[in-house]
Amino acid sequence: MGDPLGVLEDLVLDDVYMLAPGAAAPRRLSVASGSDGSFTLAEDSELGQPGAALHLDCALTLMAEAGPNVDALVMVEVDAEGLIAAVYLVPMAPLMPQTGYTLLKAERAPARARLAQMASIAFTRGTHITLATGAQKPIEDLRPGDRILTRDDGVQELRWIGQTTSRATGAMAPILIRKGTLNNARDLLVSPDHRLMVYQRHDALGAGTPELLVAARHLVNGDSVVVQDGGFVDYFQLLFDRHHIVYAEGIAAESLFLDPVTEPALPPGLLQRIADGSIPPQRRDSHGLDVPSPLLDRPNLVELLKRASLR
């Protein structure tokens, strides 16, 4: 212990890492992806220089002194000269203070798939999805070819449904939106970055548009919207020919959008179908405005959105 975390070439298996005494609370590293698969720091990132180049260096597995292993990513910010400006650890579960973590694995190969797992928006087991007939069906019972009602494009055929099981901690802990919070018929449990559509009958946030897309994590208020941390969670992804807005427990929510970040989460057979044109390339349609973070930083956000959608 004593040396800071570095890039893959500098890491040594069985080294032990620990959070520095007095380490600041975790901050969000927001990543933007280019069509060529490159990464930059997004404008709303709490770390680094927005717009700076960012490289996905490697995937780590860390063993705690007590408790389960922690998977993590190492990402590297570089400056205009291509020199390392900062090295970031992105853990998939919280790291505990005064706890030693032994480095078990450090490798490049799984890094893209692990990032895709973190970035892929998802519903959870038991979520009811609205079909073409108006009937509600649990997401785990859907099959490719099922006809799903979408908000902007009518009835669409489901191309693929993916399912993964993750520890419900840290970046993978789902967000619970309690029944009635956004006029939803039942509790809705989704991944943190899953974007929900809210239609404002009046512009309560000053966003300048009635149609808003808000990530579930921005809605957390400790009451009607909470992080459901602990145990395991079954995540499900819905893929169509295009990016769509579907209805989950009555709330309009986005389907999976394929880009260079999320594609590695797909099985090889499906990637081949995309490559040979059986599934057309996707584009992110304009379903609503991604609300700037400053407009979301208010304690009564959920109540404002609910009221704005009703009158």
Q: What is the per-residue pLDDT for 202?
A: 83
Reported confidence tier of residue 262, pLDDT bands at 50, 70, 90: confident
Q: Are residues 173 and 275 in the same domain?
A: yes
pLDDT digit string (tens) for 142-171?
999 999 999 999 999 999 999 999 999 988
Pairwise CA distance, residues 127 & 142, whole Å: 11
Mean pLDDT of 33-50: 88
For residue 40, the number of C-alpha atoms closer than 13 Å in the C-beta half-sphere is 12
Mean pLDDT of 94-98: 88
Work out how many domains the chain is built from and give that number: 2
Q: What is the per-residue pLDDT for 288?
A: 58
- 70-90 burial, b if ≥16 CB within 10 A, otherwise e? bbbbbbbbeeeeeeebbebbb
For residue 226, with 0-12 CB atoms within 10 Å meaning exposed, 13-18 middle and 19 or more buried, which class applies? middle
Q: What is the per-residue pLDDT for 25?
A: 80
pLDDT of residue 280 exceeding 70, the answer is no
Q: Are residues 168 and 271 in the same domain?
A: yes
**Other Cβ atoms closer than 10 A to 303:** 14
Q: Are residues 264 and 203 in the same domain?
A: yes
Q: Are residues 151 and 66 in the same domain?
A: no
Q: Are residues 88 and 130 in the same domain?
A: no
- Given 109, 141, 161, the domain boundary residue is 109
Domain that holds residue 45: 8-109
Per the domain annotation, does 142 fall within a domain? Answer: yes
CA distances from residue 7 to 12, 37, 76, 84, 89 in whole angstroms, order as listed? 10, 20, 8, 10, 10
CA angle 255, 297, 114 (to 5 degrees): 40
Per the domain annotation, does 2 fall within a domain? Answer: no
The model's pTM: 0.85
- Asked which of 58-62, 170-174, 192-196, 202-206 is least confident by mean pLDDT, the reply is 202-206
- Asked which of 91-95, 250-254, 264-268, 284-288 is least confident by mean pLDDT, the reply is 284-288
DSSP state letter for 68: -
Reported confidence tier of residue 282, pLDDT bands at 50, 70, 90: low
Instruction: Indicate the average pLDDT of the chain.
Output: 89
CATH number of the domain bearing residue 215? 2.170.16.10
Q: Compare 7 and 298 and report the one with higher pLDDT.
A: 7
pLDDT of residue 65 exceeding 60, the answer is yes
H or E, element range at 65:
none
Per the domain annotation, does 285 fall within a domain? Answer: yes
Per the domain annotation, does 1 fall within a domain? Answer: no
Q: Are residues 209 and 258 in the same domain?
A: yes
Per the domain annotation, does 70 fall within a domain? Answer: yes
Per the domain annotation, does 181 fall within a domain? Answer: yes
Q: Are residues 134 and 103 in the same domain?
A: no
| 23 contact partners, CB below 8 Å, separation of at least 6 | 97
Residue 142 sits at φ, ψ, to 5 deg, of -70, 155
Q: Are residues 104 and 132 in the same domain?
A: no
Reported confidence tier of residue 2, pLDDT bands at 50, 70, 90: low
Q: Are residues 153 and 181 in the same domain?
A: yes
Q: Are residues 202 and 296 in the same domain?
A: yes
pLDDT digit string (tens) for 199-252?
888 888 888 888 889 999 999 999 999 999 999 999 999 999 889 999 999 999
- Given 61, 85, 109, the domain boundary residue is 109
Per the domain annotation, does 115 fall within a domain? Answer: no
Which pair of structure tokens corresponds to residue 102? 């032994």
